[in-house]
Amino acid sequence: MSAEQSYQRVMPVRVWAALILMATVFIASVVRAKQDDENGRELLIQQKTDLEKLKCEPVLSIVQLEGELEFHDPLADEDFFPRVFAINRCSEASSFCGNTAMGMPTGKCQPVKIERRIALASYIKGSKMVSQEVLVNEHISCACCEDEVHDQKVRNLTRKDN
């Protein structure tokens, strides 16, 4: 066999080997894409389920008492304790208002019923411990609201409380 015939004979084998390799890679990628689709679908279902668990309802939250004081409250000038307390609040961080299937928020979890609750703060004045009541807003119920709707509801709630 001459060198030219050998070259012609080997060349088709290389081409066939390359074609077989490309076909194998293609088939593997199709199988992998199908697996990715199934895994992706499972992940999307899990994400939707997780969003559905995030109900718009009051949750126990840590609140800074100083932030709840009125502007003119003399307690603000004292070194009082406790500095924080737990109270029910509507929380955007632990709720979801929107289309769970699409993961698209359409509103915010906002309070629709608020009651005034007493928190007690203490401080030392001279040699005596003094306690003072501070009225704070506790969220009794929440709802998914658009910003404009919520602003009107809060104005109505504030008028009723005063």
Digits of tens for pLDDT over the chain (162 positions)? Answer: 555 555 555 556 677 677 677 767 666 665 565 666 777 888 889 999 999 999 999 999 999 999 999 888 999 999 999 999 999 999 999 999 999 989 899 999 999 999 999 999 999 999 999 999 999 999 999 999 986 555 565 556 555 555
CA proximity to 142, closest of 102, 101, 104, 94: 94
**pTM given for the model:** 0.64
3-state secondary structure 28-84: HHHHHHHHHHHHHHHHHHHHHHHHHHCCCCCEEEEEEHHHHCCCCCHHHHCCCECCE
Count of other CB atoms within 10 angstroms of residue 141: 14
